[in-house]
Amino acid sequence: MSYENLATKYRPGNLGEVMGQETVKQTLQNAAKLGRIAHSYVFYGPRGCGKTTIARILAKTLNCHHPSKDGVPCGKCPSCVEIAESKSLDVIEIDAASNTQVDKVRSVIIDQVDFAPSRDKYKVYILDEVHMLSAGSFNALLKTVEEPPAHVVFIMATTEQNKVPPTILSRSQCFRFRPISEADIVARLEAVTAAEKIKAEPEALRLVARSAGGALRDALTMLDRAASFGRGEIKTGVINELLGHPGAELVNSLALALVKRDAPALHAAFDKLNAEGHDPLAALRDLRNGFAEAFLAAQGFGGGEPLKGLPKDVQPGTLARLSRKLNVVIEEVKFSDSLPLAAEVALFTLIEVPQDLEGLVRRLEGMESRLASGAAPSLPPASGQKKNEPLAAPAAPAAPAPSPARAVPAAPAAAAAPEPEAPQAGPAGSAEAWKKLLGRVASRKPALYNILLSVRIVFSDPLKWRLLSGNKFEAAMIERARPELEELLAAVAGERIALLPEFSAAPAAAEETVAAPEGPAEETAMTEDIEAEAAAEAPQPHKPAAGPKVVGADSEPELKHLAKVFHGRITRINKVK
């Protein structure tokens, strides 16, 4: 007697034996009990999930001679036996992929549909892969599907519902078949191995179920191959060998090399992968699934075993990004003529790109905040760096050679590297606090920072600073941002200081000599202090040589404003005629 493969031998004979598809089974069972049989059904869904099997069971239910009280077919009467063996004269199974022409549809269906069943109650037409019919065949079949004789039932199965014309779908009851869950497939495989007395490792059955992709028929076929290869024993190594999977250990080494950005380890893992002849695409898929499971485990979801040995400081977002990027890599390399080389090079590109982007942004923001506050910048260790490993110090820039035209006197050693001091009391401390405030505003609101550069500050009161602006719009902008500015100023000055924006229509010359109230000279404007420092540090004026005309900075208000913006001084202005 010839061998019968497991997928055929253990095909369900009634709806109770079908794994999954609970909605479809319940609807069809109730319809059979109540006699609400439609004249046309469309079953659509992925391969191997039970479309043709349920179509045959429905045909048995309609034509069984001795059904049970619940409408379950007996499986023993001539009609049930013939339908199971595809020999029934009243249940016609048609492969639509082989009968696409209009003439085939007309001779097999249209011309025969009016004849009564030879023995059973219904004449059932099962059209497998119906989407393969041509447009002319669908048009010829349309009228028959819309108004068939009372004794005819059409059951159409397809994996591509979008290719079936809407005119056919609208005249049929459509049922969507879902992929069978991994747990249901494992349960079915365990029942089959127990019935066949095959020794199987639980992990091996899970690998078979995972590789089937929701198709129970594919899982049973793989189980049949594994039993033949392993001589009646199904082990995890046998399944990995048949599927071309590299195994958990090799996938784990690839994952660790990516997370730690270790190029030599990644190359060594690919050398082992190629030496053992594993499928690179299967390795990439396992790697993608491993990162996805590790991400779900880090979020507290999923019961699968994640990757082993991952650093504790790896962020879940990094794992999710790697899984998503591997999807792109798989799509790029799957059609390459050199899969191992393309897969390895693609993974090397993932090493070059920073993985923990959020961590990098946080480090940059922290360094920016320290620079704005005047503290020495220091970066926390990155996710791939050891905590006790010092950061490499940047190379000191080479000192520029002194210009022969002008010798710069050496500064005293004591004043070479002044230590940063806390803001002092009085205008000097207020000016320092104002500079730090500008640094904070520059990193957060550049537009407001430009407006603040153009205002004039009067320290008439240590706790109340007047901000004079010659532009009414800019004064309104400062007033709108005043609460936030006062909060930032309190953080850098260590005390609460009120800011009083004012619009001053006085000319620029008058604003440069804003008088302070009676008191010590410390209450002069900050701008005047900066100008005094610039004048003191400027070299003595000298007579220009013959050439372009030289004018002073005081005669050019725009250039003077630029000097304030860039905190510098103007020593020479050449006007070209």
Residue 25: pLDDT band (50, 70, 90) is: very high
Mean pLDDT of the 19-40 span:
90
Among 575, 571, 536, smallest CA distance to 553 is for: 571
3-state secondary structure of 431: helix
- The 3 state secondary structure assigned to 207-248 is HHHHHHCCCHHHHHHHHHHHHHHCCCEECHHHHHHHHCCCCH
Complete domains list, the chain, with CATH: 6-176 (3.40.50.300), 182-243 (1.10.8.60), 248-352 (1.20.272.10), 427-520 (3.30.300.180), 538-577 (no CATH)
**d(C-alpha 426, C-alpha 493), whole Å:** 12
Under DSSP, the state recorded for 411 is P
Mean pLDDT of the 188-210 span:
90
Residue 561: pLDDT band (50, 70, 90) is: low
Residue 39: pLDDT band (50, 70, 90) is: very high
pLDDT of residue 439: 82
Mean pLDDT of the 6-30 span:
90
Q: Which residue has the higher pLDDT, 510 or 336?
A: 336
| Tens digits of residue pLDDT in 487-496 | 888 888 888 8
- The 3 state secondary structure assigned to 346-399 is HHHHHHHCCCCHHHHHHHHHHHHHHHHHCCCCCCCCCCCCCCCCCCCCCCCCCC
Mean pLDDT of the 385-391 span:
42
pLDDT of residue 420: 36
Residue 534: pLDDT band (50, 70, 90) is: very low
Other CB atoms within 10 A of residue 475 CB: 19
**d(C-alpha 53, C-alpha 13), whole Å:** 8
pLDDT of residue 371: 74
Other CB atoms within 10 A of residue 413 CB: 7
User: Average pLDDT, whole number, for the chain?
Assistant: 77
Phi, psi of 90, deg, nearest 5: -100, -5
Q: Which residue has the higher pLDDT, 84 or 555?
A: 84
Mean pLDDT of the 471-478 span:
84
pLDDT of residue 573: 65
**d(C-alpha 469, C-alpha 176), whole Å:** 71
pLDDT of residue 404: 41
Q: CB pairs under 8 A, 24+ apart, for 415-423?
A: 420/374, 420/375, 422/494, 423/492, 423/493, 423/494
Q: Check pLDDT > 70 for residue 550.
A: no
| Tens digits of residue pLDDT in 359-368 | 666 677 777 7
> Is the pTM here over 0.75, yes or no?
no
| Tens digits of residue pLDDT in 505-517 | 654 433 333 333 3
